[in-house]
Amino acid sequence: PGAGKERWAATACVLTGASRGFGRSVARLLAPRLGRGSLLVVQGRTGRGLEQPGCGVRCPCPWQVVGTRWSSQSLPTQTIPWFLGSLGDISKSFLDLTDPEEINQYFAFNVTSALCLTSSALQAFGERPGSVRTVVNVSSLCALKPFKSWALYCSGKASRDMMFQVLALEEPGVRVLNYAPGPLDTDMQLLARTKTGDVEMRQQFQRLQESGKLIDCAVSAQKLVNLLEEDTFPSGAHVDFYSL
């Protein structure tokens, strides 16, 4: 995508986490915008969320639904591991995080795989005259602000934001956006208000839900699509839902 809706023609779009929540809302908005000659590859934890009747995704171009990995036929060069996001064990405080294997697994799942997928995809879809390559990292306020009991999640989000800022610096021909979608009304928020170890933080999340301040995924996804169509953000920028 680039400046204006006319740039969505002949687009190759790779979307992870698309079977539910925010990713599914983004898929619903992106799919109808893709024109002739486009390719949409969507991924979810199982893929079923985008295949079942009534999922609301209508795409005029070829598209492929995959589970936790894509095949060598999906991209022209190699097999690439998918990445998803996870909270980690938010019942634990900083001092409870003593198992190196648990911590390494978290960062491998949330940071390492994001780097490997992005770099491999950018190599697969190389520079072409007249084309624009755009990378969107789903970020969070947690990338900027610490939350008690969320040491892993906050560290992972901060790491990814910086990682994609480096990409923007190294590759000026790639548009890079770190988009924080706000406190979404998703299963993740349910976990936040029931499993967060710090009582004060858990109560804050509960008040968000009780006061109706959680954001509908479709509303935040629309803001993201608007950002991509306007294409005026500085590459590498962290843009928050509430700043738009």
Closest CA to 121 of 239, 15, 46, 233: 15
**Cβ 168 vs Cβ 118: under 8 Å:** no
Count: domains in the chain: 1
Closest CA to 135 of 177, 172, 168: 177
Closest CA to 56 of 223, 221, 229: 221
202 inside domain: no
191 inside domain: no
| 1: Cβ contacts below 8 Å, ≥ 6 apart | 7, 8, 11, 33, 132, 134, 228, 229, 231
75 inside domain: yes
Radius of gyration of the chain (CA): 18
* Entry pTM: 0.86
Classified as helix, coil or strand, 5 is helix
Instruction: Give the H/E segment covering residue 122.
Output: helix 113-124
84 inside domain: yes
Closest CA to 159 of 175, 176, 144: 144
212 inside domain: no
Q: In which domain, by residue range, is 160 found?
A: 3-182+217-240
Q: What is the pLDDT along the chain (244 residues), one digit of tens a residue?
A: 444 444 466 788 888 887 789 998 998 898 888 877 788 777 766 555 555 434 555 555 544 554 444 333 444 333 334 445 789 999 999 999 999 999 999 999 899 989 988 998 899 888 888 888 999 999 999 999 999 999 999 999 999 999 999 999 999 999 999 999 999 999 999 999 999 999 999 999 999 999 999 999 999 999 999 999 999 999 999 999 999 9
Task: Give the pair of three-digit tokens for residue 137.
Answer: 């990292």
| 187: Cβ contacts below 8 Å, ≥ 6 apart | 20, 21
Q: How far apart are CA 47 and CA 125, in angstroms?
A: 23
192 inside domain: no
169 inside domain: yes
- pLDDT score of 12: 82
